[in-house]
Amino acid sequence: MPFSTDVNVPRGHTVEFPDRCIGCGIPARNGYVRFARRTVSWFGVVIPYLGRNYVIDVPCCAGCESGIVGQRRKRNLALWGASILVAFIVFPYLDGLARPLRKPVGLAVFLVLLAPVLYVQFLRPPPFDLYVRSGNVDLEFEDADYAAEVYALNSHAGATIN
Ligand SMILES: [Zn+2]
């Protein structure tokens, strides 16, 4: 995520969060929003279902939770929609092209279809995201103060901030 403050934690550590909403900062009252990611690896790009799953619950009020989940749903829907459109409608039209050109042209159409979604994502990034590696996890916060609090709560377990 661009312009985020990242807290890096060991993967096995259960992350402690301040008791307030990741979106708006009000007391979260035991509400949360769940994020799940696969380990980023070379085969994950080819086969995204492989790689171990990492799940984390981040404090969140009901209003922000529905906003974050809704935005995520729209993004996934756009991703699937663009994939299906390119695979079943655009690709058959590319038959006339020379074979080495088909995939790059298909990919270009795919990115053009996704551009509005990526643009909205850039303008209104989610308040939280994560990047999972084999040994540790980057927690990416839009709010630098929130990130600093998470760092303070988890520095005893080897968390770092940047
Ligand atoms: Zn909230």
Strands 32-38 and 5-10: unpaired
Provide the β-strand partners of residue 160.
8
- Coil, strand or helix at 15: coil
Integer Cα distance of 46 and 6 in angstroms:
27
Q: What is the pLDDT of residues 40-83, one digit of tens each?
A: 655 555 555 566 689 999 999 999 999 999 988 888 888 888 88
pTM (predicted TM-score): 0.76
Of 121, 131, 132, 128, give the one whose Cα is nearest residue 146.
128
Residues around ion ligand 1, judged by CB within 5 A, are 21, 23-24, 61, 64
Q: Which residues of the chain have pLDDT under 50?
A: none
For residue 126, the CA-to-ligand 1 centroid distance in Å is 12
For residue 151, the CA-to-ligand 1 centroid distance in Å is 20
For residue 34, the CA-to-ligand 1 centroid distance in Å is 14
Integer Cα distance of 151 and 162 in angstroms:
10
For residue 127, the CA-to-ligand 1 centroid distance in Å is 10
